[in-house]
Each structure stands twice: as structure tokens, then as C-alpha cells.
Amino acid sequence: MIRETTKTFKLAASYTIGSHILPGEPIYDIGQKVNSKITLKIIPCDKIIEGVKEGEFNLGLIESPIFDDALIYKEWMEDELVICSKNPLPSSLGKDELNSCRLICRKEGSLTREVITGFLKNVGLSYESFWSLSEIDNTTAAIQSVKWAKPNKEHPTVAIVSQLSIEYELNTKTLYQSRICNQEMNRKFYLIYNKENFDKAHIHEISEILENIGKKVEANLLAS
């Protein structure tokens, strides 16, 4: 027997989270547990923050925080950005190796690109350290571009993406990963909601479910 839903809960997530972590069973499970219809919109992090602030969404899931006093931010998951390629890679890539790589990167102005730019600067590198650059809009496009790239041992095509987003590909050896200069490029995902939201009990219940989903995803990655 199908239970009647009592309300609609509006969730927004970044491309990485919405396309690679939440789709399918997790969203269904959340709706069943809180007896609600869950809508999920996948948009850039800055648009999520704006939408939560304006009341368009009840809860947001973001990769890169822009802190706003009107919102509450809760750390959700740990993530690592890694270099991926369809060709086997050494465990670490230095400047000489990067000089030969074709990089599929996020467009200028994206929050993920800002994170990567800061990391490269800290290790004495930049986007100019790569042999060539191609810009795309989101994680899924980057992963697919790498998958469909023509084999080229001299100038392999690579992308810097969330390790969580390519968990399946790593396990099936469809893609391979590496780090830059043997350094971890870590970041955190956040749950965000408006301080003035009047449905805090519902917010907290769904937040707890999402936190448990996050723990399972992290545990699966560590076990793989």
C-alpha cells in the first residue's frame, strides 16, 4: 500500500552531490522515512545558497561554502578532489607529468575551480602547468569527457573531480586516479538551511538521514 505524502520538501544539490551521491535510492528512502514528496534540483552552489536564503529550497547540499549569516551550515561529508584518467596513472603526478596532460577543467568563476586554483598555488603550480585546457560546466561533463577521450599516451586527457563521484569507475577500473605532488586536495560538503525556517523539526530529521547516508558513502569508499 502506498502511503500518502503530507508535504513537499524542496532539496537542492550541487552537480557532484545531486548527480553522483543522491540520485535514486537515497532520495526515495528520505521520502519514505519522512512521509514526504522530495523534489531535488541540481544547480551550482552559489544558486543553492541564494535559493535557500530566499526560501526557494528547504535544504541545500553544497561542495564549496559561501558563508552567509542568514544560513546555518553543517559539515556533511569529507571529499577529496583527485586527478582521473582512463589510462593507468602513477600514484602522484608532478609538474613534469602535468605538463603533458590535457586537462578538462571547470569554467572560471566556479567555486570548485577556485578551490583547485588555491591548491595548485600552494604546491607551486597553476592551470598553465598543464599541456592544454578545456572548460566544461559540471562534474558529470568532466567525467564523460575523460571516458570518451581518444587514447593518447603522450598527452593523456585528465580531469580533477570528486573521488566520490568516480567510486564506481575506480572499482571497475574504468578510470584511474592520482594526486598532485602527492598532496591530498581535501574539502568538505555542507548541509545548509535558513535560520528563519519554521519547519526545523522536519529539517533536522532529514538532515540526520542525509548524515547517515554520508557516513555510508564514506565507509563504502574506504572499504573499496
The reply to whether 192 and 98 lie within a common domain is: no
Residue 111's pLDDT is 84
The reply to whether 162 and 198 lie within a common domain is: no
The reply to whether 95 and 62 lie within a common domain is: no
According to DSSP, the β-strands at 71-85 and 157-162 are antiparallel
Residue 114 lies in a domain: yes
Whole-angstrom distance, CA of residue 53 vs CA of residue 197? 10
Residue 200's pLDDT is 73
What CATH number is attached to the domain comprising 111? 3.40.190.10
For the chain, the maximum distance between any two Cα atoms, rounded to a whole number of angstroms, is: 61
pLDDT per residue as tens, the chain (224 positions):
444 546 788 999 999 999 888 876 677 778 777 788 888 999 999 999 999 999 999 999 998 888 899 999 999 999 999 999 999 999 999 999 999 999 999 888 888 889 999 999 999 999 999 998 899 888 899 999 999 998 888 899 999 999 999 999 999 999 999 999 999 999 999 999 999 876 777 788 888 888 887 777 766 666 66
Cα distances (Å, whole numbers) of residue 3 to 31, 33, 116: 10, 11, 45
Domain span at residue 72? 8-78+188-223
The reply to whether 109 and 67 lie within a common domain is: no
Task: Read off the pTM.
Answer: 0.85
Residue 51's pLDDT is 96
